[in-house]
Each structure stands twice: as C-alpha cells, then as structure tokens.
A and B are shown apart, each in its own frame.
Chain A
Amino acid sequence: MKLIARWASAFGAFWWDFLVGDTPELFFATVAIVVAAVLLGHHDDAGYVLLPVLAVVFLVSSAYRGRRRPRAVTPVDEAKSPDQ
C-alpha cells in the first residue's frame, strides 16, 4: 500500500512539475488559450489571429517576469560603499 502511495505521489509530482513547475503563468496561459480556442472554434474565424496573439503576449510577459532585476540597495550595501 505504501508503495502504491509513493508511486502515486511521484506520478503526481512529475505531472505537477511538468505542467506547472516554476512557471505557473504558462500553465494558466495554456488553459486560457484552450478556452479561447473552444469558444472561438466553431463561431468565429478570428481564432487563427487571436490564438497566436495570446500565445505571444503570454510568452513575452512570462520572459519579462523571469528577467534578472537590479538588487535593491540595502543599508548594509551603503555602509560598505567606498564613497561613504
């Protein structure tokens, strides 16, 4: 029983890591794209424009979010500064 629980846990962890991992915004982006495709699929020809636009917006915003940011200067940094 323990073995099954461990396997189920490992299986769940694999899919969580695969689908969500450290970029949950891309998981939700995919869900949004699928929902948009289903809504537009049989009703509107604009789907072939909207889906790529959504994917591009989500990709660029996720990459922007993942950039390295300048570290805030702390009082310790200021104290160590040679100008002080």
Chain B
Amino acid sequence: MSTSSTVVLILAVFGASTVEMVEALTIVVAAGVTRGWRSALEGAVAAVAVLTVIVLAVGVPLVHYVPIDALRVVVGALLLVLGLSWLRKSILRASGHKDLHDEDAIFATTTAELSRDEPPAGARTARDAVGFAVAFKGVFLEGMEVVLIVVSLGASQHRLGIAAAAAGAAAVLVAAVGVVVAKQLSQVPENLIKLAVGIMLTSFGLFWVGEGAGVHWPGSDLAIIVLIGVFVIITLATTAWLRTLQPGAPLPARTPIGTEQGEG
C-alpha cells in the first residue's frame, strides 16, 4: 500500500470523524447545559466505549479471516453508497438546493426539548437518565458512520490501527475545540469537510470495488489520486450547473463551495 493512499485514508477518516463528532458534540453540549454535565459526559464516554468495542469486534476478524478481494468489493460498495450520498448532499447544499445543516438550530431545538422537564438546579450534579440517554444516543448514532468508515477503510487496506487512530484524533480535537468554543459549533465549515470526505470515500469505494473484482487500475494505488481529481472537477461543475437551476429564488451568495456555515 503506497504512502499516498495511506495519507488519503487518514484524511478521509479524520474528516468524516470530525463532521460526525461536531454533530454529536452539539447534542452532548445541549444535554450538558440542560440536564447536567455529569450525565451528559458519562453518556458520551459510554457511547465511545461501545463504538470502540464494535471496531475491535468487527474490524479485527474482518482483517484476519475474510478473503481480501471479497472484503474489498463489499467495503468498497459500502464506501461508495456513503460517499455518493455525502457528495450529493454537499453538492445540493453548496448550490442552494438544500438547506444548510444548522448546528445552532439543532442546539436550540435539543435544549428546548430537554428543558421541558429540567431537573432542579440542586440535582444537576446527580445522575440524570434523560441526559445520559440523549448524549449516549447522539454520540452512538453519529459515531456508527465513523465506525463503518474506520472498519471499511482500515480493513480493506490492513490499516485498522491507523484508521482508528485518525478517528480518535478527530474526536479528541473536536472535544477540545468544543470545550473552548462551547456553542460556537456552527463556525465549523461542515459542508466543505463533508464534501471533501464524500469525494475521498467515493474515490476509495470505486477503487476497492474495481480492485476486488479484478479491474486493473493504471498506476495501481495512484489511481485513487486521479479519481479524487475527477470527482473534484465533477463536483465543481455540477455545483455550478445546479446554481443556474434555482427556481425563481435569488441565487445564494457565491461563496466558495461549502464555506457556508454549518450543515451535516
């Protein structure tokens, strides 16, 4: 496996994990603010622990016992479904055909819902089942996509450790930034990250499906870089084209793709 594809693997996993963890952190912060930090943090930590167990339980046997070609076709297909879906969503958002994901709105909605039966101020340090459950569910559901990407990319390249480390680094970074900026998560350019990760997942998925099925890619692993270049061009062109198809409404500001705030 070449250095270039390992770098792309790290970037893809790191980016995907960053996007999903920002969404999860929004929910954890909302649960912490309204229901107390102890339960929210315990819920988040418990979810991360369960996700780690899933990576070990599923990923390690995949690497050791499943024939590599079959594995590459299956995980390539999974990455392709996920990558195409992220890419489509990002293109529609960047071209103004889909509303941006608004972390501030999600935070406000979650906070309002959790405040309805808010525990008394004195009970904030005690355990709160609702706060725990909301934080656990938020981190677990958002983290499952990261787990799928880590296991898929890591197993197909026999780089499970590197993929897991990249996801862990992103989670730690997002948590650290979250502590500093608290409710300012909407400042993270999620659409740009999601678009970049979508391009990488689609490229990896296509490469592994072909590789597993016996397609001969010119340049071997370097074909991944070429595929990324192709999808960057297609994404830019499709976004520009769809911007011209806005129905009557004024065109969105022509910011560079995905630099609008928020999304998911």
Asked if residues B247 and A34 are in contact (CB atoms below 8 Å), the reply is: no
Interface of A is mostly: helix
Q: Count the A-B residue pairs with Cβ separation under 8 angstroms: how many?
A: 109
- Give the size range of A's interface with the partner: 35 or more
With A59-B238, A68-B247 given, is the CB distance from A19 to B81 under 8 Å?
yes
Does A71 touch B at the CB level, under 8 Å?
yes
- Report chain A residues within 8 Å CB of B96: 68
Shortest beta-carbon distance, A19 to chain B, in Å?
A: 6
Within 8 A of B (CB), among A26-60: 26-27, 29-31, 33-34, 37-38, 40-42, 45, 47-48, 51-52, 55-56, 58-60
Q: How far is the CA of A56 from the CA of B230 in the complex (A)?
A: 9
Q: Of A27, A30, A60, which one neighbours B238 at CB under 8 angstroms? A: A60
Q: How far is the CA of A21 from the CA of B248 in the complex (A)?
A: 29
Asked if residues A63 and B85 are in contact (CB atoms below 8 Å), the reply is: no
Asked if residues B77 and A47 are in contact (CB atoms below 8 Å), the reply is: no
Asked if residues B246 and A68 are in contact (CB atoms below 8 Å), the reply is: yes
Q: How far is the CA of A38 from the CA of B82 in the complex (A)?
A: 20
Asked if residues B242 and A30 are in contact (CB atoms below 8 Å), the reply is: no
Does A7 touch B at the CB level, under 8 Å?
no
With A41-B213, A48-B215, A70-B247 given, is the CB distance from A59 to B80 under 8 Å?
no
Give the size of the chain B interface in residues (CB under 8 angstroms): 43
Q: How far is the CA of A67 from the CA of B243 in the complex (A)?
A: 10
Asked if residues A66 and B206 are in contact (CB atoms below 8 Å), the reply is: no
With A18-B148, A47-B215, A56-B230 given, is the CB distance from A63 to B238 under 8 Å?
yes
Nearest-neighbor residue (CB-CB) of A64 within chain B: B242
Does A69 touch B at the CB level, under 8 Å?
yes
Q: A52-B230, A55-B206, A63-B92 are in contact. List 4 more A-B contacts (CB 8 A).
A: A51-B215, A59-B84, A60-B238, A67-B92
14 contacts between A and B (CB under 8 A): A23-B88, A33-B80, A33-B209, A47-B215, A48-B218, A55-B206, A56-B231, A59-B87, A59-B238, A62-B84, A63-B91, A64-B242, A68-B98, A68-B246
